Amino acid sequence: MKFTLAERIKKLPPYLFAEIDRKKQEKIDQGVDVIDLGVGDPDMPTPEPIVEAAKKALEKPENHRYPSYVGMMAFREAVARWYKKRFGVELDPSQEVITLIGSKEGIAHFPLAFVDKGDVVICPDPAYPVYSIGTLFAGGEVYKVPLLEKNNFLPDIDSIPEEVVKRAKIIWINYPNNPTSAKATKDFYKRLVDWAKKNNIIIASDFAYSEIYTGEEKPISILEIEGAKDVVIEFHSLSKTYNMTGWRIGMAVGNRELISALGKVKTNIDSGQFQVVQEAGIVALELGEDVVDGIRKTYKERKKAMIEALESAGLEIYKSDFTFYLWIKVPEGFTSAQFVAKLLDEAGIVCTPGNGFGEYGEGYFRISLTVPTDRLLEAAERISRLKL
């Protein structure tokens, strides 16, 4: 029997990180000692108070039933308190906060609420692939706006053609940025909010890396900009901040109409996040800064060691105090894919090719600092032996 895939699936390239996993497993099966610097999956354990909270919550019979579609009010209140304390942003937990089964779920589902066939979604390039994938699933068209190093990896919104702007429903932004590690400025956010209001376009902000910084400067939320809540929905996650990637807990906050529309999608697709995980999430959001500072300190040490080692090997790195990624130019004479293949084949190192995040990622590759420092330095030593 022959089954025909839907067109929306046929249009999709292989999911970047699933393909990387496949190639990595091939090498492991061959007996290679592989160092995986590909996926941004923290190697440090979830802080103990969060784990203990989940254990206690698991014993409550009321948590074994269907949860709320939009999330426990107690979790949404914790999110609102955290946003107020961290960013000075006031949120109504009943209408301006929704619980997500990880931010990826919300990001993928959001276009379904607003995008019809023929509508355009403006996506950065290079970028997390799900912005485009969610658009295609909703039947929309993707317009890629390049993120260039000469512009500090910020999109040039003035370069977007007028005919695209007229058809656009959403623009995606992501700062601190994956994969480049760039930051956004308050001036950029102000200009973007004014532009979005003028053109009646939703700003969807992916803010998953807000707490992963290694300098004194803290990332700002676009919701800190006056009037931003008129046009902004911001997606956030506990995954990176608290080493909770497997727990699948996140939130979206911002404009109540946008939150309500996402909630309507979710009520028809999923049945909400397990309350045990939400109770653990409340404890995470109420932890003191000491816990997160310790995590940041580890990334700072790893970043410093890896930059020194890679620069000694002759590689050129985009310097940033944000995220746990390094965005690195490939040596002359290689494409992104060729160099990453060389690293895997000759050094047993998994990295992510820049063009896997979009055509404007060509010429770069990404390293994730989510492995112990000794393995990072081993990877750097292997790279140096390649004599690039």
**Whether residues 223 and 301 fall in one domain:** no
Q: What is the pLDDT of residue 15?
A: 67
Q: Which two structure tokens, joined as six digits, stand for 181?
A: 């590690």
First vs last Cα of the chain: how many Å apart? 51
Cβ atoms of residues 349 and 385 within 8 Å: no
C-beta separation of 34 from 345 below 8 A = no
Predicted local distance difference test score (pLDDT) of residue 10: 80
For residues 153 and 86, state if they share a domain.
Answer: yes
* Dist. CA 316–CA 367, nearest whole Å: 13
Residues 296, 230 within the same domain: no
Assess if residue 296 is contained within a domain: yes
Query: pLDDT tens, 318-339?
Result: 999 999 999 999 999 999 989 9
Looking at the structure, tell me whether residues 178 and 269 fall in a common domain. yes
In a domain, 367, yes or no: yes
pTM exceeds 0.75, yes or no: yes
**Domain stops at, among 285, 302, 332:** 285
Q: Is residue 310 part of a domain?
A: yes
The crossing angle, in degrees rounded to 10, of helices 336-347 and 16-29 is 30
Do 236 and 82 contact (CB within 8 A), yes or no? no
pLDDT in tens, 40-52: 999 999 999 999 9
* pLDDT bucket at 27, cuts 50 / 70 / 90: confident
Neighbours of 264 (CB within 10 A): 14
pLDDT at 16 over 70: no
Neighbours of 11 (CB within 10 A): 11
Percent of the chain beyond pLDDT 70? Answer: 99
Tokens in use for 337? 């894919």
Domain co-membership, 104 together with 54: yes
Averaged pLDDT for residues 3-29:
79
- 257 & 315 share domain: no
The whole-angstrom distance between residue 73's C-alpha and the CA centroid of its chain comes to 25
For 36, phi and psi rounded to 5 degrees? -95, 105
Query: Whole domain around residue 347: which residue ranges?
Result: 7-45+290-385
- The one-character DSSP state at 266 is H
pLDDT, the chain, mean: 95
- Measured on CA atoms in the order 187, 193, 199, 203, is the torsion positive or negative? positive
177 and 196, same structural domain?
Answer: yes
Phi/psi for 5 (5° steps) reads: -70, 150
141-175 per-position pLDDT tens digit:
999 999 999 999 999 999 999 999 999 999 999 99
Pair of tokens at residue 175: 């700062």
d(CA 298, CA 119): 43
Residue where a domain stops, chosen among 258, 285, 312: 285
Mean pLDDT of 240-259: 98
What is the C-alpha to C-alpha distance for residues 29 and 377, in angstroms, rounded to an integer? 24
Please give the pLDDT value at position 21: 77
Is the model's pLDDT at 13 over the cut of 80?
Answer: no
Of 107, 126, 111, 124, whose CA–CA distance to 173 is shortest?
124
pLDDT > 90? residue 12: no
- Percent of the chain topping pLDDT 90: 87
Among the candidates 285, 319, 340, a domain finishes at: 285
Judge whether residue 238 has pLDDT over 80.
yes
Contacts of 282 (CB under 8 A, 6+ apart): 53, 74, 75, 78
Same domain, 133 and 256: yes
Residues 251 and 314 placed together within one structural domain of the fold: no
Asked whether residue 2 is assigned to any structural domain, the reply reads no
Q: Has residue 129 been placed in a domain?
A: yes
- Cα–Cα distances (Å) from 336 to 147, 153, 329, 331, in that order, read 16, 18, 9, 9
- The string of pLDDT tens digits covering residues 93-112 is 999 999 999 999 999 999 99
Spatial separation of the C-alpha atoms in residues 247 and 253, rounded to whole Å: 19
Q: How confident is the model at residue 242 (pLDDT cuts 50, 70, 90)?
A: very high
